[in-house]
Amino acid sequence: DAGVIQSPRHEVTEMGQEVTLRCKPISGHNSLFWYRQTMMRGLELLIYFNNNVPIDDSGMPEDRFSAKMPNASFSTLKIQPSEPRDSAVYFCASSRTSGGSTYEQYFGPGTRLTVT
């Protein structure tokens, strides 16, 4: 299994620029999660999708953040415009949900974003 694939692994950008993070979940998984990890706040859930539909985006910090899942094998997290306080490691995770139960979440390697 390829596991959850994220790209890029590292991104350095200037304040005000648009940033797009990408995620390919494990084939057959129908739930996808975006998390952000910072030293100050730890790991936070930003948004999750089930069957490509956003279910809970209450963790998305501001309107500058948006996420899409156009099909079962691809999701993006976009920040526009980016700010230095967005610097963090962004993780994507996927899992299988069946019969109302969600199974283990598998995490990707993360994208380390630095906004200068």
Residue 91 binds other proteins, judged by CB under 8 A: yes
Q: Least distance (Å) from other proteins to the CB of residue 91?
A: 6
Show the binding pattern over residues 17-36: x = contacts other proteins (CB under 8 A), - = does not. Answer: --------------x-x-x-
Please pick, from the candidates 1, 28, 58, 62, the single residue that binds other proteins as defined by CB under 8 A. Answer: 58
CA angle (53 as vertex; 51, 43 as ends), nearest 5: 95
**Cα distance between residue 27 and residue 96, in whole Å:** 10
Q: Least distance (Å) from other proteins to the CB of residue 106?
A: 8
Residue 52 binds other proteins, judged by CB under 8 A: no
